[in-house]
């Protein structure tokens, strides 16, 4: 299949984040074998596939955490491979947000301090950072947990705090890796409702890694990864 050329940066058709023909091998094991992917501002794309198919490797390449052996990842018209390690780290702090399966909140900090942490790391003063954090906690319906520590809240509450933390710095792309994997169905659905509603209202692109159809149902479209290859309809024209 011949992939179409990318639209010009800034074009209404241009994806915010795109990967073309990614390949990544760990030892003798191919994790990605020609994967392509794209996501536009405000779009929620579910990356689906069985365990070991390459979903998480694709996400890590898209986020600049892992460098592919070949292929390209372009963000806002610029290839990640052309950036220094420091520039990619700064990108993950300012333009990218992350939600993981178990939240990964800092246990020693209160919930509001956790949500404010990305802002504080970017140099925002404490009071201003915590004001922003509280606004996002209210939006995610966990403002009453501000003074509590992660060990004092439920799994569903903690994951909503993690979503608030990911969105507090106004990222352009939110990477959500099995964000409901540790939750029951009721809590999982509420987290997805709040996550997708907040992301779409702020035009944040969401890359949602999941193997659950009920979670993928919250996305605008699906990309299937199997044996390291991604089928993205954006590239199947």
- Summarize pLDDT for 101-111 with one digit per residue, the tens: 877 899 999 99
Check: pTM over 0.85? Answer yes or no: yes
Confidence of residue 3 (pLDDT cuts 50, 70, 90): very low
Question: What average pLDDT does this structure show over 187-194?
Answer: 90
pLDDT at 51: 84
pLDDT in tens, 35-89: 999 999 999 999 998 888 899 999 999 999 999 999 999 999 999 999 999 999 9
* Percentage above 70 pLDDT, the chain: 92
pLDDT at 233 over 90: no
Q: Are 202 and 170 a contacting pair, CB within 8 Å? A: yes
Least confident of 24-28, 202-206, 227-231: 227-231
pLDDT at 234: 58
pLDDT at 28: 87
pLDDT at 237 over 50: no
Where do the structural domains in the chain lie, given as residue ranges? 16-95+171-237, 104-169
The half-sphere exposure of 77 on its side-chain side, counting CA atoms within 13 A, is: 8
SS3 205: strand
Confidence of residue 5 (pLDDT cuts 50, 70, 90): very low
pLDDT at 167: 93
CATH number assigned to the domain with residue range 16-95+171-237, chosen from the 4 options 3.30.420.10, 3.30.470.10, 3.40.50.10190, 3.40.50.300: 3.40.50.300
H or E segment and range at residue 166: helix 155-168
Residues 123 and 198: their CA atoms lie apart, in Å, by 24
Q: Are 99 and 198 a contacting pair, CB within 8 Å? A: no
Confidence of residue 11 (pLDDT cuts 50, 70, 90): very low
Residues 175 and 169: their CA atoms lie apart, in Å, by 14
**Average pLDDT over the chain, rounded to whole?**
89
Reference 64, options 204, 207, 221; nearest CA is: 207
Least confident of 8-22, 103-117, 140-154, 217-231: 8-22
205-209 vs 70-75, strand pairing mode: unpaired
pLDDT at 173: 97
pLDDT at 236: 43
């Amino acid at each position: 299949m011949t992939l179409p050329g990318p639209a010009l940066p800034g074009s209404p058709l241009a994806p915010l984040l795109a990967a073309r023909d990614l390949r990544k091998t760990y030892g003798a094991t191919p994790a990605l074998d020609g994967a392509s992917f794209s996501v536009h501002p405000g779009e929620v794309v579910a990356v689906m596939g069985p365990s070991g198919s390459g979903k998480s490797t694709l996400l890590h390449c898209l986020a600049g955490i892992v460098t592919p052996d070949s292929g390209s990842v372009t963000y806002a018209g610029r290839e990640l491979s052309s950036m220094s390690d420091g520039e990619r780290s700064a990108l993950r702090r300012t333009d990218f947000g992350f939600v993981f399966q178990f939240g990964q909140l800092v246990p020693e900090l209160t919930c509001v301090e956790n949500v404010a942490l990305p802002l504080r790391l970017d140099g925002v003063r404490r009071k201003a950072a915590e004001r922003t954090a509280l606004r996002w906690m209210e939006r995610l319906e966990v403002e009453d947990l501000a003074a509590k520590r992660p060990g004092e809240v439920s799994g569903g509450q903690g994951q909503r705090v993690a979503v608030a933390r990911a969105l507090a710095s106004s990222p352009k792309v939110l990477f959500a890796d099995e964000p409901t994997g540790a939750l029951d169905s009721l809590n999982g659905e509420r987290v997805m409702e709040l996550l997708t509603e907040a992301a779409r209202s702020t035009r944040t692109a969401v890359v949602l890694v999941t193997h659950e159809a009920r979670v993928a149902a919250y996305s605008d479209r699906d990309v299937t990864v199997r044996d390291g290859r991604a089928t993205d309809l954006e590239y199947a024209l």
